[in-house]
Amino acid sequence: MSDAEMPDDAHPHPDADHEHGVSGPGYTTPAAMRTESGREKTAFVMGLRVGMDVDGPDFVGVVDVDPDSETYGELVDTVEMPNKGDELHHFGWNACSSSCHAEGLMRDHLIVPGQRSSRIHILDASDPRDLSIETVIEPEEVFEHDLSAPHTVHCVPDGKVIISMLGNAEGELPGGFLQLDQEDFSIDGHWEADRGEMEMNYDYWYQPRHDVMISSEWAAPKTYYPGFDLDDVEAGKYGDSIHIWNWESREHEQTLTFGEEGLIPLEVRMSHNPEETQGYVGAALSSNIIRFYEEDGTWDWDVVIDIESREHPDWDMPVPPLITDILLSLDDQYLFFSNWLHGDVRMYDVSDSANPRLVDRIWAGGNFGDRQSVAGHDIRGAPQMLQLSRDGRRLYWTTSLFSSWDNQFYPDIGEEGSLMLKADVSPEAGRMELDEEFVVDFGDAPGGAARAHEIRWPGGDCTSDVWQ
């Protein structure tokens, strides 16, 4: 059965026409995912209760995004974690398109880490409307490898899962990468053989065809856990660099240091086309988009988008946009990113990758957005975590960043929860339009209000799948 024929876009069964002759999970090309996968019907969305008025555990929520369904736009199920205080943040799959050559693998488990607890939950997602917790890796098992604060989860070839870890067992630097086995989810140990000068960690992307991995920087967990302090930036406690790794040898090869031109570089997105050796990183505090690229065996970078800070009567300094999430459409034509403090989500044409062109933006919430409510729901926060439909025609986002940062900049999220919103996208025209009818208010979540964070599709998406 092809992915397009599968009910509810559940975990992808092996595609029928793998050029290498071996059937595995995912899609052979980005174009195949974009054109053959079918419309998303279910969304998995993180729901966090850390720092909320509600005293309860975090959960993974199941949101109905099928417009033909009677429960369209509703949170139809939640799977609560067995402990409180995890701060679920980012999550990923046990298998994806980079392992399409690996016969017998299925995309049927979600790897769900707790940022604050360092606990790693393994969820059975074989039925996307009936998630269940299969096993839990307790933090003590993680600390044995002198790592903590798991962040980005990527399935990788050769039957492994790699998780970026932002701190050591004490919540200080350096961070590193934790490797799990895909079959039993046991911990193999560190992925990196030599981390070189890398100390701070955050997000990463890899491209096995070109034997490269790119990682970014946030800060030590003990620095960002309490909230944001500008003095920490001035003291050099936040990142300003990305790191180039040799994928095969697992060794650190090069550091690209941006300085003040690229403060707090967070999300990394390389081109989906596996022949390309370039990508983008969003520098949150300096609020720009940096393009990195390889030429003649050496990596370099340029600032390609700069967003100005704005004066606000309630702030004693200009308000930075704070670019907190970015993504590339599967055809690598459009770059989307969110300005969490300003309140807009932007769409750029990056067909000419070195010269992005702004084509549209939507204001929704934030410190400057004219639109502060949707369908009778106040927008608490602003566009933050993004997810694009595989065909590039629907952009979804949530409005929470991190518990302590939410409570600092948008305290109403901590009291009433955050939202999930949607825009309809026209790739042909390069336009977006807010869907005034779609809103999932996590303030109404079963068991009490929650912070909505990262979004994943059953069957994979443009922020988790990599191609060889």
User: Alpha carbon 77 to chain centroid distance?
Assistant: 21
Q: Report CA dihedral (356, 362, 364, 366) to the nearest 10 degrees.
A: 30
Residue 400, number of CB atoms within 10 A of its CB: 29
- Residue 338 is encoded by which pair of tokens? 């969110």
366-403 residue pLDDT tens: 999 999 999 999 999 999 999 999 999 999 999 999 99
pLDDT band at 5 (very low <50, low <70, confident <90, very high): very low
Q: What is the pLDDT of residues 236-260, one digit of tens each?
A: 999 999 999 999 999 999 999 999 9
Q: CB-based burial of residue 260 (10 Å sphere; 0-12 exposed, 13-18 middle, 19+ buried)?
A: exposed
The whole-number pLDDT of residue 103 equals: 67
What are 112-167's pLDDT values in tens digits? Answer: 999 999 999 999 999 999 999 999 999 999 999 999 999 999 999 888 999 999 99
Predicted TM-score of the model (pTM): 0.95
Residue 6 has pLDDT above 50, yes or no: no
Q: What is the mean pLDDT of the chain?
A: 94
**Strands 59-64 vs 42-48: parallel, antiparallel or unpaired:** antiparallel
Contacts of 279-284 with CB under 8 Å at 24 or more apart are 279/205, 279/214, 279/328, 280/304, 280/326, 280/328, 280/335, 280/350, 281/214, 281/216, 281/242, 281/326, 282/323, 282/324, 282/325, 282/326, 282/337, 283/258, 283/323, 284/322, 284/323, 284/324
